[in-house]
Amino acid sequence: LTTFEPPRVVIAVDLDYFYAQCEEVRDPSIKGKPVVVCVFSGRTEESGAVSTANYVARSLGVNSGIPITLAKRILHENSSAVFLPMDIEYYRIVSDRIMGILRSKSEKFEQTSVDEAYLDVTSKTQGNYDAAEMLGKEIKQEILSLEKMTCTVGIGKNKLMAKMAVDSKKPDGLNVIVPDQVQRFMNPLQVGKLFGIGPKTEEKLRTIGVNTVAELAQADPNTLTNIFGKHLGPTLKEMASGEDNSPVVERPIEQFSRIITLKKNAEAFDFAEDLQPLSSDLSRKLVSSRLACKSIGIIAITNQLKIKTRSKTITTPTQSREEILKIVEELFSHFFEEEKLAGSFKIRRVGIRITDLTPTTIQKVRTLEDYV
């Protein structure tokens, strides 16, 4: 007796030039201009590196990792160029919302970074690549209409092929590599184009005459094992054949946090209202991730950039925004009372961090209102 096993279908989603696109969405007036998101090291006003550039800036030669001073020199005649400091908390909020959309599309979901995720849609599509393509279009459309953001979707027979499909169609692409086109797609590629192969590995492969993926697929297994070891050697050969058995599994989430900058520096707890959207966000995040938290903490960043925290552990895990807010208000009240004794200070940014996350079921949710 044999049971029908549908062919595996994996979707990879990669949000395009993510940090810079977040900035374009926040301020649409900068769209079309070169946008450069910078990590300022703080040593001098301009020291630091480029984190992400949009495609306008990339077309002019500004790439991730180059010094900010070099990026400024490249764009010095371009008066419309926009340089912005990285705002990771904001990008995480956008990312969390989008990951929530993606998570709802398949039971097998794995977020691999702030802007990348995999979905195993084998059972959802019954192994049908046309159905997967429809789903890919739906995902792109939904992210565009809800978040005004473009992404690239790749579909393949495993995570490797889905990722390869994405990487060859950025930005705003949709690329399907059906199983019987894997070799045709892979063979002509330079080995450096294989996901996970860095410049050092590429260099070593070139020394043994392996330049293309086809040459790697046909390379002598013993030679590969001698150079790269028992593990990596055979893996390289498998990758060159488009093979990858790694499952799509959700990684355990350890914490969620939200931070905001106050409209004016605070010397007392007079910003309770500003915390409401944060606790609502976190509560929604818990619900969409099917998690509840047992520990609730506050983050306070002073005008001298000192980070102060407090937290409280509760007996029954919660998803409730009211309960989170109540504890946060308690913690901030105590915090200001205690800190007053220690001397004068001002708080510039505040946040909520929830940890001790446990999987939950619908029944554990306290009120229907928590979903609103």
Only one of the segments 84-92, 109-117, 121-129, 253-261 lies at the binding site for Mg ion (rule: CB under 5 A); that segment is 109-117
Min CB(16)–Mg ion separation in Å:
6
Q: How far apart are CA 152 and CA 162, in angstroms?
A: 11
Query: Binding to Mg ion by residue 115, rule CB under 5 A?
Result: yes
Which of 174/314 has CB closer to Mg ion? 174
Min CB(115)–Mg ion separation in Å:
4
Question: Beta-carbon neighbour count of residue 162 at 10 Å?
Answer: 31
Min CB(111)–Mg ion separation in Å:
12
Parallel, antiparallel, or unpaired for β 151-156 and 10-15? antiparallel
SS (H, E, C) 328-345: HHHHHHHHHHHHHHHCCC
Query: Binding to Mg ion by residue 96, rule CB under 5 A?
Result: no
CB distance 223 to 209 below 8 Å: no
Only one of the segments 66-74, 115-123, 158-166, 271-279 lies at the binding site for Mg ion (rule: CB under 5 A); that segment is 115-123
Q: How far apart are CA 40 and CA 47, in angstroms?
A: 6
CB distance 163 to 155 below 8 Å: no
Token pair of 139, please? 């995902």
Which of 22/347 has CB closer to Mg ion? 22
- Candidates 14, 24, 120, 244; binder of Mg ion (CB under 5 A) is 14
Only one of the segments 64-72, 110-118, 179-187, 237-245 lies at the binding site for Mg ion (rule: CB under 5 A); that segment is 110-118
Going by C-alpha positions, the residue among 262, 249, 273, 329 that lies closest to residue 301 is 262
Which of 52/319 has CB closer to Mg ion? 52
Which of 155/266 has CB closer to Mg ion? 155
User: Which residue lies nearest Mg ion, judged by its C-beta?
Assistant: 115
- E strand intervals along the chain: 10-15, 35-40, 48-53, 82-85, 108-113, 116-120, 151-156, 174-176, 256-266, 291-302, 307-318, 347-359
Which of 13/328 has CB closer to Mg ion? 13
Going by C-alpha positions, the residue among 171, 168, 124, 169 that lies closest to residue 143 is 171
Min CB(54)–Mg ion separation in Å:
12
Crossing angle (nearest 10°) for helices 199-207 and 221-240: 130
Only one of the segments 1-9, 108-116, 292-300, 311-319 lies at the binding site for Mg ion (rule: CB under 5 A); that segment is 108-116
Place of tokens 């976190």: 282
Number of residues that bind Mg ion (CB under 5 A): 3
Min CB(152)–Mg ion separation in Å:
8
Q: Does residue 116 carry a catalytic annotation?
A: yes
For 12, the 3-state DSSP assignment is strand
For the chain, give the number of residues.
Answer: 372
**Alpha carbons within 13 A on the beta-carbon side of 148:** 9
Query: Binding to Mg ion by residue 244, rule CB under 5 A?
Result: no
Which of 39/227 has CB closer to Mg ion? 39
Which of 166/296 has CB closer to Mg ion? 166
Only one of the segments 15-23, 94-102, 280-288, 333-341 lies at the binding site for Mg ion (rule: CB under 5 A); that segment is 15-23
Min CB(89)–Mg ion separation in Å:
18
Subset of 144-203 contacting Mg ion (CB under 5 A):
none
DSSP characters over 181-205: GHHHHHTTSBGGGSTT--HHHHHHH
Min CB(106)–Mg ion separation in Å:
20
Catalytic residue among 110, 116, 133, 147: 116
Binding region for Mg ion (CB under 5 A): 14, 18, 115
Catalytic residue numbers read 116
